[in-house]
Structure 1
Amino acid sequence: MDPVRHSVRALLFDGEELVLFRRDKAGREPYWITPGGGIEKTDASPEAALRRELEEELGATAGPVVPVFSRVEPGYRSTVYVARLVEMDLSRRNEHDNSGHEIQRIHPEDVGTVNFVPAELREFVIENAAVLPSLVDARRRYRPVVDVHVLLFDGDRVLLGLRHDTGYADGEWGAMPSGHLDEGESVLAAGAREAREELGIEVGELDVVHVMHHRNPGCASRIGFFLVARSWSGTPINAEPDKCEKIAWFPVSELPANTLPAVVAGIQAQGGFSLHGWERPELAELRDEAARSKCEELTVAVLAAVDGGVLMISDAENDRLPSTIVRPGESLEQAIARLHPGPPSYAGAADYVSSTGVTGRRFVFTVTPPPDSVPKGLRMPARDRALIESW
């Protein structure tokens, strides 16, 4: 039996538009296709194959990918993913022949106006044009993660847990118990559930003592509820040692230096509501947060004004901001200085996965005052265009 050929393709969103290829072949009507190609034996997974194809065809990196469509024929299978473009540098392409391979951007609702193939995918995109971007873009309708922190006090001491093997902020202390609100669950019910699961205790009445709208430096925002348990039954134990190395009591005035900053602010808050992390972050904060998020690679790009215009690298097909990967042992400041001198100020960030499967975070910094005017018709990802326009 012949092996089944498996290809992967991307509905790659750049802002509101899909990045497509227009193909022109002799004797055939022009047609539009998504970037992608066949899975090779050296690819670790279908997703790895997709990211390799994006690199080869577009010099592109993308954020998280979501499979949304499959097409199966005898001896052939195609899986289509939705993804959002983070960065594109066409000079990185290693496709040998890009002739008749024009890059175009088309709104998904306009796919029906062109010869988009295959027809099954064309109909799928038309039917789901309003939904597809929301799968990879939280900005469409804000649905924040809701954190629920239960504070247990013993006199002037509060109980904390040392995070372990969770994938985020491991080796730092957090409120104990704490967790995320589940769908259909009240904040109070979530607090009681977390106390039961993480500490093996039953809490009495819970009071909401503080609400925080928190944003991690260079990352997404979330809502945090801080609850105080008036009483509890049982003795707190570390009931989830796979996620928590140990639990301990600490005086509120002497919390460990490696306590999550938002947790410190929530414990020390005096009731009501607060914003935390919304001020422009320092470079050290950005790097610390990237480490908490287990980013294996950091990239920096700069917004700089030169001779009244925006500093860009341009070729016949696209424009891009100067950018570089931070070298081992190099600080963010040093990497930025390699691109352009000037005091850096954080402008934005996006997470990505490289073609080799490395998880990374790309930061953009302003290093000069804005230019006299912003050029029109920039041929770069919408995310960067938006940063330039808001500079």
Structure 2
Amino acid sequence: MTSVRHSVRAILFDGDDVVLFRRVRAGREPYWITPGGGVEPTDTSPEAALRRELDEELGATAGPALQVFTLVEPGRLSTVFACRLVSLDLSRRSGPEFLEPDIGLHEVRRVRPEEVRALNMVPPELGEFISANAATLPALLDAATYAPGRYRPVVDVHLLLIDGGAPVHSGVSTGGAKVLLGRRQGTGYADGEWQIMPSGHLEEGESVVDTAVREAREELGIEVDGCEVVHVMHHRNAGGTARIGMFLVPRSITGIPVNAEPHKCAELAWFPLDRLPERTVPYARAGVEAVRRALASRPPGLPAAVGAAAVVSGSPVFSLHGWDVPGSADLASEAVRAGFEEVTVCLVALLDGAVLVHSDDETDRLPATVVRPGEGVQAALARLAPMGEVSFAGADDYVSPRGRVGRRLAFSARPAEAPEGLVPLPAGSLGRLPYGEGVFVRRASSGLLYDLSGR
């Protein structure tokens, strides 16, 4: 019986380009390959093998990986993944093919995917697949990872059940009115914190009101009627993506709220509108506060918040939340709340209009480090270089070579001189930075907008 060797390959996108190796070996015409290699007995999965190979061959981390193709060759079965490059550090690569000088050169090149079929690609079937799917693969990755492009926000639907309270008139407090909250557990986001109950995400084919009715039934075992939107919020988590929040109140409720999903909610409790528990999800707290203000400012003579709730008259109020530049503590807290297993910080240091980078023969990169256990973000930045005041420049997410889901936070600074080990790129140039790091530079550069489309 012939044994079959299993391997993995990466269609690794850096912006609009694909990262390939141009192989130059004595006595053979140069040829091209994708990053990847054999699956080892110690690899827990093909994806684990892929991330190990990316680290060994490129010192690279990547975002979520999608399995897109299976390549069958004599004696070999290759699983092909598509993913986006997050960071690249060739000084970290450790594969044996890079430590043996007689094995030839692995030149790192970036190529437009539609041009790959014209290269001497090994195997040629993979090059044909990349070119044939030049538009489809980036679109699949964008849909899977919420990459920048046409805005596709998550829509959150929150139904506020407001119980009791004195009559509410213009300029008068909402008195003893209370709102129902649930303490999250087992969800992977903000576990242990309090959230509006019920809450959920708008699904395809549903109206906002349909979602509120469904979530009330699923989470609390009640039926609600006459739901109306009383507040709309455009919210952004610190270092994360933005979303739209719709806050509604019902005109009537049938049944008594119970914790119908104990695997997601540890307990239910009623809290005064103006005295929410300390560990309330910040986004939810801002929404409750906005609705409380709306209730308190109703014209005289409208019904009080009695029983389930009273609908606010007039058009829903709109607000922004989380759009101020976040501090390092807020960014670190949100990373913990979102369940990231590690946090990396990188630094965009600008000196006389030029960005300072680590540079080698083939690539440039921003200085970066993983935040150590028990260490703050500011302390990790100080280990990179003493930069003084820093400002947030953006964030992206990745999966480490060991499979740990992480968030990378970029900060900008303007040092008086170049720290040891960093060299300036020509002013206005992005050099050979990975695309994502070029985006950080663009955001951090005051008045300097770089055209990344031609990279």
Map 1:116-127 → 2, pairs under 5 A: 116-127=121-132
* Secondary structure, counterpart of 1:142 in structure 2: coil
Cα distance in 2, alignment partners of residues 175 and 383 from structure 1: 35
1:303 to 1:377, Cα distance in 2 relative to 1, 3 A: closer
User: 2:301 matched to which residue of 1?
Assistant: none
Give me the TM-score of the superposition, normalised by structure 2: 0.82
Q: Are 1:379 and 2:388 an aligned pair?
A: no
Match of 1:112 among 89, 108, 117: 117
The structure number with the bigger radius of gyration is 2
Aligned to 1:258: 279
Q: What does residue 310 of structure 2 align with?
A: none
SS at match of 1:223: strand
Amino acid at match of 1:71: L
How far 1:117 sits from its partner (Å)? 3.2
Taking the aligned partners of 1:158 and 1:321, their CA distance within structure 2 comes to 47
Take 1:170 and 1:284, find their aligned partners in 2: how far apart are those partners? Answer: 19
CA deviations over 1:166-200 (Å, ceiling 9, x no partner): 01110111111111111122111111111111111
Instruction: Identify unmatched segments of 5+ residues in structure 2.
Output: 99-103, 165-176, 295-315, 417-423, 446-455
2:400 aligned to 354, 363, 382, which one? 354
1:174-189 aligned within 5 A: 174-189=195-210
- Report what 2:333 is aligned to: 288
| Residues 78 and 298 of structure 1, relative CA distance in 2, 3 Å threshold | same
**Aligned to 1:128, which of 105, 130, 133?**
133
2:71 maps to 1:71: yes
In the alignment, is the contact (CA less than 8 A) between 1:134 and 1:140 conserved in 2?
no
Q: CA deviation at 1:253?
A: 0.3
- Residue identity in the other structure for 1:222: R
- Alignment CA distance shift 1:81-1:141 (3 Å): farther
1:365 counterpart residue number: 411
- Name the stretch that deviates more: 363-372 or 212-221: 363-372
Q: State yes or no: 1:81 paired with 2:134.
A: no
> CA contact under 8 A between 2:63 and 2:83: conserved in structure 1?
yes
Cα distance in 2, alignment partners of residues 147 and 181 from structure 1: 6
Does the CA-based 8 Å contact 2:230-2:248 persist in structure 1?
Answer: yes
Distance 1:221 1:369, change over 3 A: farther
Q: SS at the partner of 1:44? A: coil
Contact 1:308-1:372 within 8 A present in 2 as well: no
Structure 2 CA distance for aligned equivalents of residues 305 and 182 of structure 1: 44
Distance 1:71 1:169, change over 3 A: same
Post-superposition offset of 1:285: 0.7
Q: Distance in 2 between matches of 1:246 and 1:377?
A: 51
- Take 1:248 and 1:362, find their aligned partners in 2: how far apart are those partners? 36
Do 1:86 and 1:383's aligned partners in 2 also have CA atoms closer than 8 Å? yes
CA distance in 2, matches of 1:31, 1:154: 71
In the TM superposition, what whole-angstrom CA distance separates every residue of 1:257-287 from its partner, at most 9, and x where no partner exists? 1111111111222342222111110111101
Aligned 1:244-255 pairs, distance under 5 A: 244-255=265-276
Residue 154 of structure 1 aligns with which residue? 163
Stretch of structure 1 that moved more, 170-179 or 272-281: 272-281
Structure 2 CA distance for partners of 1:115 and 1:74, relative to 1, 3 Å = closer
2-structure distance, mates of 1:298, 1:8 = 27
Contact 2:355–2:425, Cα closer than 8 Å, also in 1: no
What CA distance in whole angstroms lies between the structure 2 residues aligned with 1:181 and 1:169? 19
Unmatched 5+ stretches in structure 1? none
Match status 1:206 vs 2:227: yes
Shift of residue 308, structure 1, vs aligned partner:
5.7
Q: Percent identity?
A: 59
Corresponding residue for 2:167? none
2:255 alignment partner in structure 1: 234
CA contact (8 A) 2:354 2:429 kept: no
Shift of 1:31: 2.1
Name the SS for the 1:136 alignment partner.
helix
Q: SS of 2:97's equivalent?
A: coil
- Residue 328 of structure 1 aligns with which residue? 373
- The DSSP-based 3-state class of the residue aligned with 1:312 is strand
CA distance in 2, matches of 1:27, 1:315: 28
TM-score after normalising by structure 1: 0.95
CA RMSD of aligned residues (A): 1.9
- Select 2:150's aligned residue among 141, 147, 169: 141
Structure-2 separation of matches of 1:279 and 1:306: 25
CA distance in 2 between counterparts of 1:2 and 1:228 reads 66
Residue type at the aligned position of 2:152 = R
The residue aligned with 2:451 is: none
Q: 1:387 to 1:111 in 2, by over 3 A?
A: same
The CA distance in 1 between the partners of 2:383 and 2:130, in whole Å, is: 42
Q: CA–CA distance in 2 between the matches of 1:186 and 1:91?
A: 52
